[in-house]
Amino acid sequence: MPAIKIAPSFLTADLGRIADEVRAVEAAGADYLHLDVMDGHFVPPISFGAIVIEAINKVTDLPLDVHLMIEQPERQLESFAAAGADILNVHAEVCDDLPAIIAQIKALGCRAGVGLNPETAISAIAASMEEIDQVLVMGVHPGWGGQALIPETIEKIRDLRARLNERGLGTDIEIDGGVKVHNAAECAAAGANVLVAGSVVFNDNASVADSMRDLREALAAVEREA
């Protein structure tokens, strides 16, 4: 199994010290930065947008994995690409013309990710499977960090990985929400190869460095086995 990627999410980080928090996860070996954009419509909260992402891009060389929890994402893709996004994840639930949106993302030079809410079936992306670079499987209802993983997510990931394998596709599967040290290995063994890590990395109980190390250690056994 190729190395599992860890993508810290900043919703529970200290956003007043965002540059320091970015440097901390970078030093601790993060693979991507996962940036959660919320519009107050697709999900109730409003988080941050392209202007903040552009500022973050200036203080890191890590790939930016931008998670657009927004309606009508096609209207915003260009500004997020210009802000420095490397991966643009849209949600299947709000894409009327998913193939066109995936093509738009790729034309902007970004990798195309498609998100699935917990209640959205894999069949929602079946017709576009060949074109998608990353499927973002929500492990919680989107909108907030710090929630518990919905257990059925593991089976969904296993099912998705099996369907991708059947088609000979090595598409990335990113699990987003609820990843903790105790379930990280299970997520990876089911077939996720990108793990979003929010409150497990940014919390009041342990340093970013210690939390990242614990996550890596939890994943090491799965990586060796495969």
Decide the pairing of beta strands 5-8 and 33-38.
unpaired
- Interaction of residue 5 with ligand DX5, rule CB under 6 A: no
- Interaction of residue 39 with ligand DX5, rule CB under 6 A: no
Rama region for 93: left / alpha / beta (φ>0; ψ in -120 to 50; rest): alpha
Report how far residue 115's alpha carbon sits from residue 88's, in angstroms, rounded to the nearest whole number.
10
- Interaction of residue 173 with ligand DX5, rule CB under 6 A: no
Among residues 39, 65, 172, 176, the one annotated as catalytic is 176
Report how far residue 149's alpha carbon sits from residue 180's, in angstroms, rounded to the nearest whole number.
9
Task: Look at residue 175 and give its three-state secondary structure.
Answer: strand
> Cβ-closest residue to Zn ion?
67
Scanning 82-90, 98-106, 121-129, 170-178 for contacts with ligand DX5 by CB under 6 A, the matching segment is 170-178
Report how far residue 147's alpha carbon sits from residue 178's, in angstroms, rounded to the nearest whole number.
6
Active site residue 65: no
Q: Write down the least CB distance from residue 93 to ligand DX5, Å.
A: 13
* Crossing angle between the packed helical segments 50-57 and 18-27, to the nearest 10 degrees: 50
User: How many Cβ atoms from other residues are within 10 Å of residue 1's Cβ?
Assistant: 13
Among residues 36, 39, 133, 172, the one annotated as catalytic is 36
Report how far residue 127's alpha carbon sits from residue 113's, in angstroms, rounded to the nearest whole number.
14
- Interaction of residue 9 with ligand DX5, rule CB under 6 A: yes
178 binds, among Zn ion, ligand DX5, none (CB under 5 to 8 A by kind): ligand DX5
Report how far residue 82's alpha carbon sits from residue 49's, in angstroms, rounded to the nearest whole number.
12
Q: Write down the least CB distance from residue 226 to Zn ion, Å.
A: 25
Scanning 7-15, 49-57, 83-91, 99-107 for contacts with ligand DX5 by CB under 6 A, the matching segment is 7-15
Report how far residue 193's alpha carbon sits from residue 211's, in angstroms, rounded to the nearest whole number.
19
Q: Write down the least CB distance from residue 71 to ligand DX5, Å.
A: 15
Q: Write down the least CB distance from residue 107 to ligand DX5, Å.
A: 25
Residues near ligand DX5 (CB under 6 A): 9, 11-12, 34, 36, 67, 140, 142-147, 176-179, 196-200
Residues near Zn ion (CB under 5 A): 36, 67, 176
Catalytic center residues: 36, 176
